Structure 1
Amino acid sequence: MATTLFFLLFFTPFLYSAAAPNHNAPQDLVRSSCINASYPSLCLRTLSSYSGPTGTPRDLAQAAVKVGLARARKASTYLKTSVTGKSERERAALSDCVEQMAESVDELSKTLSELKHLRGETFEFQMSNARTWVSAALTYEDTCVDGFEGVDRKVKGDVKKKITNVAMVTSNALYMIRRLDESGGLNR
């Protein structure tokens, strides 16, 4: 009886911990996935705090695109409200940038829709679309910043800071899409 009691008291915690599900699995996947992203610390910060599912490479790719999309929309709103009180040249640059960001939002929206509807028979084609659209979003974001040559340094700096942040999370989204593509990630 004493041996049984000793066994239960001493070994039960070890047996339970070995059989318990790993609730850190999604966080472990985020950590291991972000390690080679373009911007690892930003990737880890944005996806670790993401409130939706992140338990599979597919979830991570969708989450990364959603983060990029949210930041692109927020930057676009900022740009639209920044026009007042600016010079004609600054207003033109901001207006062009708003258009570029609208295109970026469109590309990221198409990407998210594609990732939500992946099918086995068209997986490779869909992943090609996703990579192309996110790459296009990055190009629009870069073009937005390029339009601020010859503009007041403060205005240019503020815009560049916002858009660079969007481009960084978008670049991480592209990495997650490539990672999903490499994993063949329909069921993962």
Structure 2
Amino acid sequence: MNQTHSLVLILNLTLLCMVAIHGTTGAPIQSDFIRSSCKATHYPALCVQSLMTYAPSVRHSPRQLAQAALTVSLTRARSTSAFINQLSPKPDQARSRQAGAIKDCLDTMQDGVDRLRQSIQEMNRMGRIHTRQFRWHLSNVQTWVSAALTDENTCLDSVSHNAGPAVRAAVRQRVVEVAQVTSNALALVNRLAPRY
């Protein structure tokens, strides 16, 4: 019994020494990296909140962080697009101004989803930094994410001018958040541009 207690005590001391020498799992440091990187965005609190779960896979990689931000944006854009699709009017209401606004909003959101999906695929083709290939693929990503942000704003404009208050408020709440995470993703993508 005495030997068992001694063995447990030795194991605990060994574990404490290993933690003291090697540090913790790195999660606080990874969290600091995300917080620091998110300061470059227009919506830093939302950036941190939406990307913190990606900390273990992002580690300290600006490219992985940008990829995670694009993934967040794509996921939320798809969800919002599905929500707007549910608002599509019945056939007998299809000619109203609100119906047209919802259709326009849905079309532009789906276009934005496609551009974000393309951007994520393009990130995987970038290659090594400071190469012509990297700059070309990065330019494509920047262009497509900017276009997705424009699509989201176009959706908002259409609904703001032509939909009733309830629909306008419901769509606005979701699309504004998508636009904010897309803006954050673009800021993190822009940080990948090589400095010369």
Which TM-score applies when normalising by structure 1? 0.83
Partner of 1:37 in structure 2? 41
Question: 30-39 vs 64-73, which deviates more?
Answer: 30-39
> Offset at 1:27?
1.5
Return the alpha-carbon distance in structure 1 between the equivalents of residues 180 and 88 of structure 2.
24
C-alpha displacement of 1:91? 1.3
Match of 1:5 in 2: none
Aligned partner (choices 117, 134, 142) of residue 131 of structure 1: 142
Deviations 1:125-146 (A, max 9, x none): 1111111110000000001111
The residue number in structure 1 matching 2:177 is: 165
SS at match of 2:57: coil
Structure 2: 5+ residue stretches without partners: 1-12
Does structure 1 residue 93 correspond to structure 2 residue 101?
yes
Q: 1:106 to 1:59 in 2, by over 3 A?
A: same
Cα separation, 1, equivalents of 2:121 and 2:17: 44
Aligned counterpart in structure 1 of residue 119 of structure 2, from 107, 111, 115? 111
Alpha carbons of 1:30 and 1:160: their partners in 2 closer, same or farther (altered >3 Å)?
A: same
Q: Percent identity?
A: 34
Change (3 A) 1:150 1:91: closer
In 1, Cα distance between the equivalents of 2:25 and 2:55? 18
How many residue pairs match? The answer is 175
Q: Is the 8 A contact 1:64 1:176 kept in 2?
A: yes
Task: Assess if the C-alpha contact under 8 Å between 2:34 and 2:55 holds in 1.
Answer: no
**How far apart are residue 89 of structure 1 and its match?**
1.4
1:19 matched to 2:22? The reply is yes
TM-score by length of 2: 0.80
Q: Is the 8 A contact 1:69 1:105 kept in 2?
A: yes
For residues 148-182 of structure 1, give each alpha carbon's deviation from its aligned partner in whole angstroms, at most 9, with x where no partner exists.
20321221111111111100000000011011224
CA distance in 2, matches of 1:174, 1:140: 14
Structure-1 separation of matches of 2:124 and 2:141: 11
Give secondary structure in 2 for the equivalent of 1:50. Answer: helix
164-173 or 18-27, larger mean C-alpha shift: 18-27
Structure 1 unmatched runs, 5+: 1-9
Supply the RMSD in Å over aligned alpha carbons.
2.5
CA contact (8 A) 2:81 2:106 kept: yes
After superposition, the Cα gap between the structure-2 partners of 1:160 and 1:80, relative to the gap in structure 1 and judged at 3 Å, is same
Matched, 1:83 2:91: no
Distance 1:16 1:97 in 2: 53
Is the contact made by 2:119 and 2:141 (CA closer than 8 Å) also made in structure 1? yes
- The Cα shift of 1:13 comes to 5.5
Q: Distance in 2 between matches of 1:183 and 1:117?
A: 20
Q: What does residue 3 of structure 1 align with?
A: none
